[in-house]
Amino acid sequence: MKENLIRAFRILLFLAIGGFFLFLAFRDVPLEHLVSGLKDARYEWVFVSLLLATLAFISRAMRWVLLIEPLGYRPSVRNTFYALMTGYLANFVLPRIGEITRCGSLNRTDRIPVSSLLGTVIVERISDFIVLLLLAALLFFIEINLLGDFFYSYLIRPVAEAAAALLDLHLGLYILVAALFIILLAAYRLFSAWFKKHKAYRKIMQTFQRIGEGMKSVMRLEKKQAFLLHTVFIWLMYVLMTWAVLMALPSTAGLGATGALFILVAGGLGMAAPVQGGIGTYHWIVTVGLGIYGISREDGLIFATLSHESQALLMIALGSFSMLMVFLKWKRAGSQVKTAVTGDRQGPERQKPGGAAEGPQRPRSASV
């Protein structure tokens, strides 16, 4: 009961954060202008964007298989795709829960330990984060005069102010934290032997060991070049699908590849926020970012809505279908195991030496 209340509170909290940013993005924007802009969009470009996104998802599934193979497993691309999309669907319920959900989904279809899969997901996330940083650096040097103020105002200054606020805390707090750390370390030293004998401790350490093995899988990759090519392909699809949505609106069609790259980086920051599916945060940061290129707030919000909602609908549709397929595969596998166990228990009917089977015989019907 308590866990359900905590889970419900977290969901409501993240929804409130997203709602706050939605309010910031949509306030004072006439609904008529938004509806009119969405009606005038060229949806053939939106369809192209969704097609490119689907190709990126398939490539992600194939790249995940490459990370799993060094662990001694080889799931099908289809199963990894179903697991991946189920995870994306779960992110609309609770942020970052998708990573665990997709590992659990693949565990149900291919019996791969969740803890080992988590290590591969961590490697995948680190790889994508590095690519995002490289794209942000490239974009910064291409548009240093235009984007310098944006990154300073919305990224560098908030982080610096947060760090300064932490440094301004009273010295006693630091002493308290240090004392607490020393006490916990001393307690661990004193009771380490007891901890190591405890079953829960062994399970926790085993889980961390499997996560570490999953993270080391990238070092044992036999197809490092394929992993790199998939990564490049995935992010190229992301840039092109963003560009396609820009082409769908007259107000943003002239921004070109640089504008698409900027929206991808800025939107990535919005999607990384602890909010279900980036709702609100994506709309706000993309709308503000497009203002740098001279796009009005209303037109920027039209683009953000079209881009986010089209991708969200795609992920919900593919995620719902994938979740159904995972459930059916899991149920089918469970029924096969049950049938096999039942068959083993019954076994073949043993024969008596005379050739008649043991056990009670059915009475013969009387002949007429």
Dmax over Cα atoms in the chain, in whole Å? 105
pLDDT per position as a tens digit, 175-227:
666 777 777 777 766 666 666 666 666 666 666 666 666 566 666 777 888 99
Tokens of 230: 């998939």
Lowest mean pLDDT among 63-67, 165-169, 253-257, 287-291: 165-169
Once rounded to an integer, what is the mean pLDDT over residues 275-288?
Answer: 79
Amino acid identity at 349 = E
User: Is residue 64 helix, strand or coil?
Assistant: helix
Q: What is the DSSP letter of 351?
A: B
Q: Distance from first CA to last CA of the chain, Å, rounded?
A: 69
Mean pLDDT estimate for the chain: 78
Total-model pTM: 0.73
For 164-191, letters b (16+ CB in 10 Å) and e give eeeeeeeeeeeeeeeeeeeeeeeeeeee
> Could you tell me what percent of the chain has a pLDDT over 70?
66
Distance of CA 238 to the CA centre of its chain: 15
* pLDDT over threshold 70, residue 297: yes
Name the residue ranges covered by the structural domains of the chain: 38-164+199-332
Q: What is the DSSP letter of 74?
A: -
Once rounded to an integer, what is the mean pLDDT over residues 233-244?
Answer: 94
pLDDT per position as a tens digit, 124-155:
888 888 898 888 888 878 776 666 666 666 66
pLDDT per position as a tens digit, 239-257:
999 999 999 999 898 888 8
